[in-house]
Structures are given as structure tokens and as C-alpha cells.
Structure 1
């Protein structure tokens, strides 16, 4: 083998996965067909669950130190959601994709991993021991496993001949990174009676400290072929149509046309080959859910591949990647399609759509509805199907943000190992045979729940104060007091 895992695609998903594999102690090769890193930002924000996962690896503070990345108000179909709606300690942040890719590029280089650029995949073959990848320059690599993180037009997916069912694109809208004047006086989503609309989102600042924004334009007559370049005149006309003379274009960084296509691969696993990110699912870029969902694919898959490479993974473990992430991706596609309908992307001003939006806007003022929608958008509502989920409200959810006296739960996950919280020091003998894979934490000063998840009041129910087993990706896979041994064996393999 040339490497344990070959990751194809050096975008946010691929680089997140490469970092997870290095954390798991797995040799990794990262390739990309582009000769240099793109300076385009297809996404502009990081949701709460992704921020938490980055914090679990000690990457959040260094990432936020790269520039001005303000907290931003979330939305569902352009309807604002309060910052506190999902009850998490880390609200949505404006961090452009280009910043994330640059950050991971440097971080991986510090760990000795450099993306091999200009490597375009041309062939793929696998057997019971590994995968052989061929490239257009005549070179080849042999790996135990291969992960496709090579985008919506995935070469790996094409070579696998995997079905990519869903809805084809029926219209296009314009997305652009811009500097504007007068934008502070404009709302995040603005509609005109004639169906023209615009959306504005913060993208931090440029090197001179000037604010950048993501601008999205749509409406009657604006759905053009993706092959037609977006011009400055088209962007200026769109701004004038929606805002009049109040908002003007100062600089157009880049622009492209995006479609409302919605597709998802039928299978995320093909033997020793896995699909992640846009290679597995595509949809309209609402709330940066595509990038965040792809990064969450990587957090879910990385430790499982590490377990397989190191030889302690239970036979079913790699199959749980599809079982957990395919439903999560399908849920994102559903909420995006619902949002696109309520936002009237085509600018039809259909009375039925307007009536539905009016009713939905009223519902979105209710705290329970806000919490539900914020959970969908932020990824915090994801609950993986797991044994024991029917018996305990935390099993399958991301671990609660617990204060353990001298430390916090997310800090315990920096090593990329499992964590057993054992406040009463009751499971030392039982957990001992898994101590090479799971860190047991006992004798803490206190175990205080500090935030709610999906309406679970940990302070009132005591759900966050007992023993619990947390996977390396930060999800609770057991909560006491009984049946710890089956949970350890199910997720962490046979005891020593």
C-alpha cells in the first residue's frame, strides 16, 4: 500500500477528513485535480454543530483568529431566526469557504501533509485488500480505502457508476462575492412586488479591512444558462432593480450561476470507496448547509476509517457511515427544497406560494418552531440511529456541553479517542479492556449541564449528569447505568 487512505478532493470536506485521519494516526494522501487552491467561496458560513466539532479538535480558536468572522443571524427561507434559537454556545459564524480552505491547507502542512495538486483521477479499481487509483499523468496510487470528496461532478462517483437521483435544475440564480456601498441599510432578504429579489450575507473583510458580502439575485428573466458568464452590468442591474440607487456595486470579486438541482447518491459506501460532501449530495446553497454537511460527513467517517485501519473496528462500523449520514443528508435536501419553494426563487409571485409564506412566517415567530428550524439549519438536530436511543434522550445526539470542573467535554475529545464520563468512578474495571481506545474520566469536581439541545432540559431532567460514552466524533453512544459492555463492543470493538 502507498497509503492507508486516499482522499480525492481538497475542499473543506476533503481537508477536514484528512485532518481527522491524521488525528486517528492514519497515513493519508490528499489529491486534487486543480493545480492551485481556488479563491472562490461557494459557501460563506459555519453552523453551530460544525463549530463544535472544530472546537473538539482544538481548531476553532485558530480558525477564528484568521480574521473578522462575525456572528450572523440565521434564517429559514429568508425568515430570520434568533441567535439563541438552537440554544448552543457557538452561534453561526461568517467564515467564507476560501478562508476555511486556506486555514486547513496551512494546518495540514504543519502536520506534514501537503495536497498533491494537479492530480486528476482517470481510473479506479478495488479488490478485497485495497483500491488502486490511476491519474491522467500516468501515475497510480494504492490505498486501503478511498474517499471521494471531489464535488458535485465527482469523477469517483462517475467511475463507480453510482446513481445520483433527484431533481434536475429548473432555474438559475446569480451568486457573487462583492463590495457594496449602502448595504448596511438593506435587509438580508429583500423582495419586490414584481418578483425580483436579493439576499445579502456578510463574508468578513478583505485584506484592507473592507466588508465583503455574498450577494444572491433572482427573479423573472434572471434564469440564464450556467454557461453564460455573469457580468458587472448584470449585477449592477440586479441591485438597481431591487434596491434602487441605495445600494451600489464597488467591486465584483467573482460571480457564478447556481441551479436548484437537488440530488443524493443512493449509497455512500461502495466496498472500500466512500462518498462525502458534494460527491454524495447537492442542493441550493442555503445556510452554507452543503459545506457544513460535507464537513460533518468527514467528522463521522474519519474515526471509523481509523478504527478499520488499526484493526479494532467492529465488522459493521464502516456501514454505520451510510446508515447515519445518508438520512442526515436527505433531511438537508428536504429543508432546502422547502425553503426554495417558500422563497419563490423564480419570482412567480404565485398567490398560493405567497399565502403559504405568510402563514409560515407567522409560525416562525413561535419559540418552539424557531428552535426546530434552527436545529435543522445548524446541524444540531441530527440524531443518529443507535442502539439505546429509545432508552435515553441523549443517545444519538451530539454530546452536551458539560462543565467538568477543570475542563469541558469538548476539550476531552482533542485526542480523537472515545471518552467515557464516569463521575462516580463506577466503571473502571468494566472499561479497562478498552483503555487503548477510550479515555475514562472520573473524579471530576462537578458535571454541570450548561445548554439545552432540541428541547431537552438537562438541568431539570438530570439527563446530562450521569455516566455517558462519547464517540470520537462527539456523539453520545451510551448513557448509563446499564449495558456499557455491549455499547463499548458495538462502537469500539473487541476488548484487549
Structure 2
């Protein structure tokens, strides 16, 4: 083998996965077809669950130290909800994707791993022992596993001929990074009576301290083919139709047309090849759910590949990547399609849609509805199916950040290993059977006993009789 794992695609998904592999002590190669990293912001928001995951790896503080990235309120179909109702430890942040990519690439380089750029994949073949990937120019890489994180138009997915069912795009809107005047004086989601609409999101400031915003413009007559060039006048016209002269375009950084296509691969695993991020699911970029879902794909898969490479993974551990993440991806597609309908994406001003949105907006004023939507869109509502791990309410959920005295629970996950929180000091004997995979902590702490997977999800809590089975289920046979 040239390497244990080849990751194709150096976006947030691919770089997060590569970092997880390095943390697990797995040799990896990260390749990307682009000669240099894109300077397009693309996504612009980081969910609470993703922030927690970065914090669990010790990456959050250095990421946020790079600039001014404000907390932000979420929205569902353009109806905003207040972040304080969610009650999450870490509220949403507006951190552009380009910033995240730059930070992760520098972090990997500091560990000695550099992205192999200008590497265009043109072929792959797998057998019982591994995968052979062929790049333009004749270079080949032999690996034990390959992960496709190469985006919505994934070459790996095409080479696999993987089914990608769903809905084709029927309309386009403009998404742009801009500097505006007057934006602080208007609502972030605004429609006019003709169906034209504008959405605004803060992106923080540039190195000169100037405020940047993500601008989305849609409405009747604005749905044109994606390859039609976008002009400044087209954007100014959209602003005038909705805001009149109150908001003006000062600078256009970049713009692209996006569609309402919604697709998901049928299988996230194809033998020794795995699909993650936009290679596995595409949808409208509402709430940056595409980027965040891709990062969560990587966090779910990375430690499992580590277990497989090191030889301790149970036989079906890699299969749980599909069974867990396909459900999450499908749920994201459903909520995005619901938002598209309620937003009146195409600007039809259909009276039935307007009536449904009016009723929905009234319901979102209820604190319990805001909490539900906040959990849904922030990744905090995820509950993985974990048969054999007990029925405690914590099982399958993101672990609470318990106070363990000298440290908090999230700090213990920086090793990339599992954590057994043992406040009663009862489980030393059983934990000692997995010393190379699970750390024991929290003796004397005022919290519930629980077993946490390396990706931060609880895989056992409650009945002591179930602990040893859960350890075997997720961490393999005892040493």
C-alpha cells in the first residue's frame, strides 16, 4: 500500500476526515484536482454541533482567533428564530467556508500532511485488499480505503456508477458575497408583493475591518441557467426591487447561481470506497447544512476507519457509517425541501403557500417550536440508532459537556479515543480490557456514567450490565 486511506477532495469534509485519520494514527493522502485552494466563501455558517466537534478536537479557539466571526440567529424558510431559545452551549457562528478551509489546511500542514493539488482522479479499481486510484498524468495511489469528498459533481461517484436519485433543479437564484450600505437598517429576509426576495447573512469582516455579507436574490424571472454570467446590475436590480434605495451595493466579491436540486446517494459505502459530504448529498444551501453535514460525515467515518486499519474494529463497524449518516442526510433533504416550499423560492406568490407560511411564522413564536427548529438545524437533534447499547435517553445523542472537576468532558475527546465517564469508580476492571482504545475519567464527578465514542456520541449509559457489550460493540474485542 502507498497509504492506508486516500481522501479525494480537499474541502471542509475531506480535510476534517484527514485530520481525524491523523489523530487515529492512520497514514493518509489528501488529493484535490484544483491547483490551489478556492477563494470562494460558499457556505457561511457553522452549526452548534460542528462547533462542539471542533472544540472536542481543540480546534475551535484557534479557528475563531483568526478573525471576527459573530454569533448569528438561525432561520427556517426565512423565518428567524432567536439563538437563546435553543439553549446550546455554543451558538451558531458566521465563519465563511473559505476561512475554515484555510485554517484546516494550515493545521494539516503543521502535522506534516500537505494537500496534493492538481491531482485529477480519472480511474479507480478495487479488489479484496484495497483500491487503486489513477490520476491524470498516470500517477497511481494504492490504498486500503478511499473516501470521496470531491463535491456535488463527484468523479468518484461517477466512476462507481452510484445511484444518485432525487429531484433535479427547477429554479436558480443568485448567491453573492458583497459589501453593502444600509443593510443594518433592513430585515434579513424580505419579500415584496411581486414575489421578489432577498436574504442577508453576516460573514464577519475582511482584513480591513469592512463588513461582508452573504446576499441571496431570487424571485420571478430570475431563474436562468447556471452558466449565465452574473452582473452587478442584476444584483442592484434585485436590491432595488425589495429595498428601494435603502440598501446599495458597494462591492461584489463573488457570485454564483444555485439551484434547488435535492439528491442523495443510495449507499454511502461501496466496498472499500465511501462517499461523504456533497458527493453523497446535495440540496439548497440553507443554513449551511451542506457543509456542516459533510463535516459530521467525516467525524462519523474517521474513527471507524481508524479502527479498521488498526485491526480492532468489529466486522460491521464500517457499515454503521451508512446506517447512521444516510438517515441524517435524508432528514436534511426533507427539511431543506420544506423550507424551499415555504420560502416560495421561485416567487410564485401562490396564496396557499403564503397562507402556510403565515401560519408557520405564527407557530415559530412559541419557545418550544424555536427550540425544536434550533435543534433540527444546528445538528443537535441527531440521534443515531444504536442497537445493543441500551435504551437510556442519552444513547445515540451528542454527549453533554459534563464537568469532571479538573476538565470538562469535551476536553477528554482531544485524544481521538473513546471515553468512559465513571463517576462512581465502579468500572476500572472492565475498562482495563480496552486500555488502548478507551480512557476512563470522571471518578467522583457529579454526573451520570456514560461511554462516549470518539466522535462525541454516547454509546452507553444507564444499566451497568450493558457496558461490556457496548464496549465490544463499538471498540471491538478486548485486548
Could you state the TM-score of these two structures normalised by the residue count of structure 1? 0.95
Query: 1:317-396 alignment to 2 at 5 Å?
Result: 317-388=317-388, 391-396=391-396
Out of 467, 482, 489, the position equivalent to 2:465 is 482
Q: Deviations over 1:31-61 (max 9, x none)?
A: 0000000000110010000000000000000
Q: Deviations over 1:267-305 (max 9, x none)?
A: 000000000000000000000000000000000000000
- Cα deviation, residue 389, structure 1: 6.2
- Cα deviation, residue 210, structure 1: 0.2
Q: Deviations over 1:435-456 (max 9, x none)?
A: 1100011424x33xxxxxxxxx
Q: Deviations over 1:297-319 (max 9, x none)?
A: 00000000000000000001000
Q: Secondary structure at the match of 2:134?
A: strand
**1:462 — aligned with what?**
none
- Is contact 2:404-2:442 (8 Å) kept? no
- Is contact 1:174-1:217 (8 Å) kept? yes
**2:451 — aligned with what?**
469
**1:83 — aligned with what?**
83
Q: Deviations over 1:59-118 (max 9, x none)?
A: 000000010000011111111111123221100000000000000011000010100000
**2:278 — aligned with what?**
278
Q: Secondary structure at the match of 1:95?
A: coil
- Is contact 1:43-1:288 (8 Å) kept? yes
Q: Secondary structure at the match of 1:241?
A: helix
Q: Where does structure 1 lack aligned partners over 5 or more consecutive residues?
A: 448-464
- Cα deviation, residue 482, structure 1: 2.4
Q: Secondary structure at the match of 2:257?
A: strand
- Is contact 2:389-2:466 (8 Å) kept? no
C-alpha distance in 1 between matches for 2:391 and 2:284? 36
C-alpha distance in 2 between matches for 1:100 and 1:137? 30
**1:19 — aligned with what?**
19
- Is contact 1:388-1:395 (8 Å) kept? no
**1:132 — aligned with what?**
132
- Cα deviation, residue 189, structure 1: 0.2
- Cα deviation, residue 466, structure 1: 1.9
- Is contact 1:388-1:478 (8 Å) kept? no
C-alpha distance in 1 between matches for 2:373 and 2:390? 23
Q: Secondary structure at the match of 2:177?
A: strand
Q: Secondary structure at the match of 1:288?
A: helix
Q: Deviations over 1:321-371 (max 9, x none)?
A: 000000000000000000000000111000000000011111111111111
C-alpha distance in 2 between matches for 1:85 and 1:336? 21
Matched, 1:495 2:444: no
- Cα deviation, residue 388, structure 1: 4.9
C-alpha distance in 2 between matches for 1:443 and 1:18? 33
**1:192 — aligned with what?**
192
Could you state the TM-score of these two structures normalised by the residue count of structure 2? 0.99
C-alpha distance in 1 between matches for 2:395 and 2:450? 9
**1:459 — aligned with what?**
none
**2:266 — aligned with what?**
266
C-alpha distance in 1 between matches for 2:289 and 2:137? 34
Matched, 1:411 2:411: yes
C-alpha distance in 2 between matches for 1:442 and 1:260? 47
C-alpha distance in 2 between matches for 1:82 and 1:400? 22
C-alpha distance in 2 between matches for 1:85 and 1:486? 37
Would you identify which runs of 4 or more consecutive aligned residues in structure 1 move more than 4 Å? none
- Is contact 2:421-2:443 (8 Å) kept? no
Query: 1:126-205 alignment to 2 at 5 Å?
Result: 126-205=126-205
**2:37 — aligned with what?**
37
- Is contact 2:203-2:212 (8 Å) kept? yes
Greater Cα offset, 412-421 or 400-409: 400-409
C-alpha distance in 1 between matches for 2:441 and 2:457? 16
- Is contact 2:21-2:305 (8 Å) kept? yes
**1:312 — aligned with what?**
312
- Cα deviation, residue 247, structure 1: 0.5
- Cα deviation, residue 187, structure 1: 1.1
Q: Secondary structure at the match of 2:83?
A: coil
**2:100 — aligned with what?**
100
Q: Deviations over 1:381-429 (max 9, x none)?
A: 0000002566210000000121111110000000000000001110111
- Is contact 2:389-2:469 (8 Å) kept? no
Change (3 A) 1:229 1:438: same
